[in-house]
Amino acid sequence: MPFVDTRKLNVIERLPGWHGRYFHSPSMTFAHYDFVRGSSIHEHFHPQEEVYEVIEGELEMTIDGVTQIARSGLVAIVPANVRHSVKALTDGRAIIIDYPGRHDFD
């Protein structure tokens, strides 16, 4: 699987307002999300390191109690087992990568 056409992947609404397309490499999980203003991801943690890259729009990210606005050009890195939450301030798109992979996102 050296090439993946993300436009052909099934869209899953993982949480209200978060519509994602998912695929896996041997060691990572990739999620291409379209998000809706006002939607959120509750505070949680998991054993994977997670990277958020906002392509369009703005996300309010809280990582280990520190809040910052993530937008195009600003990448948010969530260390493994660290509490984090997200609120969509606008409509937009983001790519979220988990390492190691999250095969619960099949």
pLDDT at 106 over 70: no
Q: How many residues does the chain have?
A: 106
- Cα→Cα distances 82→30, 46, 47, Å: 19, 7, 8
pTM of the complete model = 0.91
The answer to whether the beta carbons of residues 18 and 48 sit under 8 Å apart is no
Residue 105, pLDDT above cutoff 70 = no
pLDDT grade for 104, boundaries at 50, 70 and 90: confident
- Tell me what pLDDT residue 1 has: 62
Task: Note the Cα 51 to chain centre separation in Å.
Answer: 7
Give the pLDDT confidence of 44-61 residue by residue, as tens digits.
Answer: 999 999 999 999 999 999
Residue 35, pLDDT > 80, answer: yes
Q: Rounded mean pLDDT of 70-84?
A: 96
